[in-house]
Amino acid sequence: MMETPAKRIALYGGTFDPFHNAHREVVRSALSQLPVDCVFVMPLGQAPHKNRRISPAAFRFEMARLGVEGIEGAIVSDDEISTPGVDYTYETVLRLKEQFDPEIIYILAGSDVLSSIDSWFRVRDLLREATLAVVRRGSDHSGDMQAKAKELQKRCGARVVFFDMPPLTLASSDLRARIEKGQALNGQCPAQVESLIQRHHLYTFSSVYSSISAEKWSHLIEMEGLSWPYLSQERRVHSASVAQYAGYLASLTGVDIARAMECGLLHDLAKQLPLREQRELAGAFLKDDVMLAAFSEELLHGPAAAEIISTFDDSRDEEFLNAIAFHSTARPGMSSLEQILFLSDKIAYDRTFCRLEPIRALAEGGELRAAMACCLREVFNALVREGIALNPISLAAYREYAGDSSLY
Ligand SMILES: [Fe+2]
Ligand SMILES: [Fe+2]
């Protein structure tokens, strides 16, 4: 992660949902005032308290990455996201110690932590391992804070230091509420974060998400964590974007929302594996050499991902696995879930191509079959322009969705 070992490190954890200007100020102020070599900005994976559906980790990691750009010494870490299970600061601190063997670890926290830290997991052990670095905003009453710090020191042996930042009062929950109401953010997040939020329509699907049970949501986050090491950050953002759009289409068409989102999160799992491995996995899934031969190199990752997923969990049903296996070819006889994944992969908000809007309009109007025909036609047009042969499974699918009068 770092070229030179960091001896004095700070950990700044949070959901960063979204990452805003006050988060950036905390990082900047810590680096300029505390004796540290770096600050690890660590977006949370699984929250201990599941009172809200936090955004997919790929978006939150990306916002943090863009949010600290240009700050020397700020390192966005996926340690908690890629570690299975609920994340506790105590365990994260132990992993950082093992990895870097630092002289000191600071935990960056807001002043509210002085009153709430008792509820943290293994707080006494944590405070033995790390020093609490509490940020003072201009408006904070430093007398009260000193008294609370002394009290914490007496009670738990805590070491507490303070650093200052400008009096910025921003709350992620307020920003999410603003976006939900269609209000502008007015520069309250770093510019690149704001444009990511706009491009991916983040925080506009809260009502879709809230219809998913907390249990199913935490399963989704767990699946995203499982797929994390397989994918580049760019591909993770694409997968989260497809998941979000698939959830939206599912909500419009009566399909299980969590299931559609899970397909989106996992569909490109095999995309970055070596081709030979993709071919072997695809062959194992398809169990049919003629069918396998219809999958060109760019398409093998679909059935390969289906094979990997069936090994994660052998109770996966055929529809789920087929949705993933045929997400880039389509096939005749697709279920609504399969069509939703195929379409979302092509028209989610991370995609930009001309003539995309008519496909979105059909899909969002619930006309999935018409959207399939329209989308396949666009895919074929692009392939013909590039001189690439059309896939026989896709052609058979197109004939079904467009009727026999088709051009292809
Ligand atoms: Fe794909
Ligand atoms: Fe994809």
Whole-number Å distance, alpha carbon 381 to ligand 1 midpoint, is 18
Residue 49, token pair as written in the block: 């308290």
Position 150 scores a pLDDT of 87
- Per-residue model confidence as pLDDT tens digits over 174-213: 999 999 888 888 899 999 999 999 999 999 998 899 999 9
Q: What is the distance in A from the centroid of ligand 1 to the CA of 120?
A: 41
- For the ranges 4-8, 143-147, 188-192, the maximum mean pLDDT occurs at 188-192
What residue type is assigned to position 237 of the chain? Answer: V
Mean pLDDT of the 237-243 span: 98
Q: Check whether 115 has a pLDDT greater than 90.
A: no
Q: What is the CA(128)–ligand 1 centre distance, in A?
A: 47
If one counts every other C-beta atom within 10 angstroms of the C-beta of residue 169, the result is 9
Q: Which two tokens stand for residue 50?
A: 């599941």
What pTM does this model have? Answer: 0.93
Q: Mean pLDDT for the chain? A: 91
Give the strand order in the sheet containing 104-109. Answer: 74-76, 38-43, 8-14, 104-109, 131-137, 160-165
Highest-pLDDT range among 2-16, 100-114, 232-246? 232-246
288 C-alpha to ligand 1 centroid (Å): 21
What is the per-residue pLDDT across 284-343, written as a single tens digit (0 to 9) for each? 999 999 999 999 999 999 999 999 999 887 788 999 999 999 999 999 999 999 999 999
CA of 375 to the centre of ligand 1 (A): 15
pLDDT band at 280 (very low <50, low <70, confident <90, very high): very high
Give alpha helix (H) positions in 201-349.
206-210, 214-227, 233-253, 257-266, 275-286, 289-293, 301-312, 318-325, 336-347
Q: Measured in angstroms, how far is the CA atom of residue 106 from the centroid of ligand 2?
A: 39
pLDDT, tens digit, 9 for 90 and up, residues 254-270: 999 999 999 999 999 99
Q: Flag whether pLDDT at 90 surpasses 80.
A: yes
Other Cβ atoms less than 10 A from the Cβ of 314: the count is 7
Do the beta carbons of residue 337 and residue 259 sit within 8 Å? yes
Q: How far is the CA of 315 from the centre of ligand 2 (A)?
A: 24
Domains of the chain by start residue, with CATH: 8-200 (3.40.50.620), 209-402 (1.10.3210.10)
Distance, CA 19 to ligand 1 centroid (Å)? 28
Nearest ligand for residue 327 CA: 1
Residue 407: pLDDT band with limits 50, 70, 90: low
Residues with CB under 5 A from ligand 1 (ion): 268, 328
pLDDT at residue 368 tops 80: yes
Least confident of 236-240, 243-247, 396-400: 396-400
Query: Which tokens is 170 given?
Result: 């921003």
Tokens of 135: 């940020």
Beta bridge partners of 10: 39, 106
Structure tokens at 243: 């998941």
Farthest-apart Cα atoms in the chain, separation: 81
